[in-house]
Amino acid sequence: MSAQEIYLIRHGETEWSLNGRHTGISDIPLTENGREVARRWRALAATRKFALVLTSPLRRARETCELAGLGERAEIDRDLLEWDYGAYEGLTPQQIRAQQPEWMIFRDGCPGGESPEQIGARVDRVIARLRGRAGNAVVFAHGHVLRVLAARWLGLAASGGSHFLLDTATLCVLSAYHDVPAVKRWNAPLAVSENAQALKRGGSEESTTRSSERV
**Range of 50's domain?**
6-200
Q: What phi-psi label fits residue 69: left (phi over 0), alpha (psi between -120 and 50 degrees) or beta?
A: left
The pLDDT of residue 44 is 84
Answer whether residue 209 is part of any domain.
no
Q: Which of 178, 153, 175, 179 shows the shortest CA–CA distance to 164?
A: 153
Neighbours of 3 (CB within 10 A): 15
Answer whether residue 78 is part of any domain.
yes
**Are 64 and 168 a contacting pair, CB within 8 Å?**
no
pLDDT at 191 over 70: no
The pLDDT of residue 1 is 66
The total number of structural domains in the chain stands at 1
Q: Which of 116, 140, 137 shows the shortest CA–CA distance to 128?
A: 137
Q: Which of 169, 157, 153, 149 shows the shortest CA–CA distance to 214?
A: 169
Answer whether residue 187 is part of any domain.
yes
Answer whether residue 1 is part of any domain.
no
pTM: predicted TM-score of the whole model, two decimal places: 0.89
Catalytic residue among 11, 22, 142, 144: 11
Answer whether residue 208 is part of any domain.
no
The pLDDT of residue 2 is 86
Give 57's contacts (C-beta < 8 A, 6+ positions apart): 76, 77, 78, 80, 81
Q: What mean pLDDT comes out for the span 165-190?
A: 95
CATH no. for residue 138?
3.40.50.1240
Q: Note if 82 is an active site residue.
A: yes
pLDDT at 215 over 60: no
Q: What mean pLDDT comes out for the span 182-194?
A: 81
Q: For the segment 132-164, what is each residue's pLDDT rounded down to a tens digit?
A: 999 999 999 999 999 999 999 999 999 999 999
| Nearest-angstrom CA–CA distance, 105 and 144 | 9
Higher pLDDT, residue 169 or 205: 169
Q: For the segment 69-128, what is each residue's pLDDT rounded down to a tens digit?
A: 999 999 999 999 999 999 999 999 999 999 999 999 999 999 999 999 999 999 999 999
Catalytic residue among 5, 66, 82, 114: 82
Q: Which of 88, 59, 93 shows the shortest CA–CA distance to 76?
A: 59
Q: Note if 144 is an active site residue.
A: no
**Are 118 and 152 a contacting pair, CB within 8 Å?**
no
